[in-house]
Amino acid sequence: MRGKTHCAVGIITGIQLSLIFSQPIIPTTIVSSAVFSTLPDLDKSNSIISGIILKKNFSKFLYKLILFFLDIAIFLVSIKISSSFFISAFITFFTIIFLEKKITHYNMRKALITGTLFLLSIILFLAKVNLSFIIPFIIFSIFPWLRHRNFSHSFFMVIIVYLIMKPISILIDYEFLAFLSSFMYLLHIICDMFTRQGVAIFYPFSKNMISLGYIKVGGKFSNIIENLIIFILFIVTIHLMLKFL
């Protein structure tokens, strides 16, 4: 399922759950539903949640900038070793080709996303924010380095989400948040189970990818199904609002 569909389904379902459990529909409801319904895909550097943390165009700019300064640094070092301009240029050229194969934009982007989340946790720590708000940033900073749809898409991670959000929900006096966040996370996993790739839902106990369908993400049929699901959920939400409000 596409990231924007996960987000839309998450927000609509979050509103439905709030109506069913007689909970207030507040900005925290909408934001947490949107974040946790897309959060499992943080293990993919080009996902919608990764794009919110770090824009792809910005990371590409940084990538080119780093390679540019590496070019200069390598040339200056080589010119120190060899006074010949042509030899230095030759060394620089082939060294950069080697580095570009090793330092790809994909890997650098993962490092930048991890660094951004970890930096936020340090800022919160220095600001003496309660540790409960810092732990999630530290845990999710590891996600970009995980294999896609493994640990991040497991039942085990759903439990972890509930455990790390429970203290936060108590601190902000919105205890529904822990249930809402973990449910949205689980909803993402369930939706992905109906794709052709499936998910390793029992990871780390089993690495087998479990699939309940044959939908190809991004395909025309998949897009139609996703739009249909959003439409049905929207109609159900209107019905619930008329019933409970």
| pLDDT, greater one: 101 or 21 | 21
Q: How far apart are alpha carbons 245 and 241 in whole angstroms?
A: 5
Structural contact between residues 71 and 62, judged by C-beta atoms closer than 8 angstroms: no
Q: Is residue 205 pLDDT above 80, yes or no? A: yes
Residue at 89: amino acid letter: A
Structural contact between residues 195 and 40, judged by C-beta atoms closer than 8 angstroms: no
pLDDT in tens, 124-151: 999 999 999 999 999 999 999 998 889 9
Q: What pTM does this model have?
A: 0.85
Q: Give the DSSP letter of residue 199.
A: B
